[in-house]
Amino acid sequence: MSVPTDDSGVDETLSEEERRVVDSISNLGSQWRLLVLYDLQNSEKRFNELKRSTGASSRTLSRVLDDLQEMGHVERRLEEDAPVATYYSLTAKGASLCPVFDELEKWSKKWEADSAADVNSPE
């Protein structure tokens, strides 16, 4: 039996709130997008700094940064003085995800610790 979906592929039986959550995760969902957003939380970075810190290839990082700019999460600043440099930073929209990252980090630490305790506990 198939689940009815709308044009975006989202289950039509979801409530509006559930649909928003699913859509938000879908839009941000790529590993690279999340990694770049997470990495830009504390300061603006140059392209090569982001490349090193994320491990993304130049092509992937360029595509991801373009996507994030188009989505309004990241802004690009070009400094034309020698040496020419391009900087990326979070917009207000992108920065509004920082508390979400903080909560996910807390959640993963808690459950990672619980999982480790479960694995190490005698049966």
Full set of structural domains in the chain with CATH: 16-117 (1.10.10.10)
H-only helix segments in 29-57: 31-39, 47-54
Cα-Cα-Cα-Cα torsion 117, 119, 121, 123, nearest 10 degrees, comes to: 150
Q: Are 88 and 41 in contact (CB under 8 A)?
A: no
| Whether pLDDT at 33 is above 70 | yes
Q: Where are the beta strands (DSSP E) in the chain?
A: 45-46, 74-79, 85-90
pLDDT of residue 3: 41
Q: What is the three-class DSSP state of 8?
A: coil
The CB-side HSE value for 122 (13 A sphere, CA atoms) comes to 0
pTM of the model: 0.74
| Whether pLDDT at 53 is above 90 | yes
Range with the lowest mean pLDDT among 5-19, 20-34, 42-56, 92-106? 5-19
